[in-house]
Structure 1
């Protein structure tokens, strides 16, 4: 008997609702074996072996619903995984996916307020005060020391977001004083007034 036919036979013997835990392994094995026979089974780069990670299986004839945690964003530094909702219609031999929710995998970094830090750095730049976060070159340029400004984060995406937000806020303020950002962390002050 083919995997999907066997799966259908098992599921049709069940009540509507959550699939009993003792059947989960068997159901997922059969679903994995027949996965490529389903239209739409390749959506979202889905592969048969990923079916084993399915959670929260529910049967509402003729459809099997399950959640699947996807980790694409975590590779890019996110602390959250997308939870996809998969719907397998066994009568039509069709699989479909819907955007689900997100699951927090790792603790988020503490909040960091770019605007208040940008205002603080602006005050230091304008006052000419010495500060370990700022280096002034002989030519008058200002180099910002990122490692002193931004708290270290194990999450690359969070760190990049903080840097982007900080420079947007900083330049929003400093441009009104004539400062220009020429490259990364390098600022040029306005020309001296005559």
Structure 2
């Protein structure tokens, strides 16, 4: 790349009040892996315990200070719901200690256990279970995952145009003000660009 992409990322990523959004899981994984490697401290890898076969997402690698997002509802009264963002404060063998950084329980320290995860697909000829922490590293998240959240500072990373109707609107409307919004668009040569294509299915408006 001809520009310092991750300097851009760090300029917007103060973990408790800044968020990075990208269109696809692949873009998010790329950002999360790079940011995790740049975070000081020793990482720890948690392997899953599976039955019959492994499933995608078996390994979770984190460090103290890593932002994470919950993938399951654990305890609604403590604000531990699917989509809750936290920052890891301690890493144990059987539990993670983390600080809630969004919602009404912001600042609370909570414990996240390993749980048994069962795929929802009914096409499997036999049951599959995987025991793992129900979390994912969340320096960045997909635009779709951010729906319903109001965020103070948002960085939108667009290595290619959004791919579904209304997705760009969702990304840009997460920030509470224009001052809290930064956008990085790159072209096919990974050079910074000044425009992107919005995806709109005009057929949606035909019946209006």
TM-score range, shorter chain: under 0.3
Answer 1 or 2: which has greater helix percent: 1
Bigger Rg over Cα: 1
- TM-score with structure 2 setting the length: 0.22
- TM-score with structure 1 setting the length: 0.24
Answer 1 or 2: which has greater strand percent: 2
User: Which has the bigger relative contact order, CA under 8 A and spacing at least 6?
Assistant: 2
